[in-house]
Structure 1
Amino acid sequence: MSADGFTGGPPPGARPDWTIDQNWNAYSGAEHEVWLTLYRRQVELLPGRACDPFLKGLEALDLHRGGIPDFARINQELARLTGWTVVAVPGLVPDEVFFQHLANRRFPAGRFIRRPDELDYLQEPDVFHDVFGHVPMLTDPVFADYMQAYGEGGLRAQGLGRLANLARLYWYTVEFGLLETPQGLRIYGAGIVSSHAESRFALDDPSPNRLAFDLARVMRTPYRIDDFQQVYFVIPSLEALLAASLQDFAALYARLAGAKDIPIAAIIPEDRVLTRGTQAYAKARADQ
Structure 2
Amino acid sequence: MVGSRLEPCLLAPLAISSAHRRDTYCWSYTRSGQYTVKSEYWVAQNVLKREEEKQVVEPSITDLQAYVWKLKTPKKICHLIGQLLTGHVAVTRNLARRNMRCDNYCPRCGELEESVTHAIFECPPALQVWSLSSTPTGPGIFRVPSVYTNMDFLFWRKNAIIEPDQDRDPYPWLIWYIWKARNKKLFSGIDRDPLELVRHAESECQAWFEANKVVQPIIQDINVEESQWWEHPTYGGKESHAARVTPAYRIGSTAVGNGEHAPTFDMPELWNGLQGDDCNVKRAPGLAKLCDGAGKD
TM range (shorter): under 0.3
Q: Taking CA–CA contacts closer than 8 Å with sequence separation of 6 or more, which of the two structures ends up with the larger relative contact order?
A: 1
- The two structures have a TM-score, normalised by structure 2, of 0.24
- With structure 1 as the length reference, what TM-score do the two structures score? 0.25
Higher strand proportion (structure 1 or 2): 1
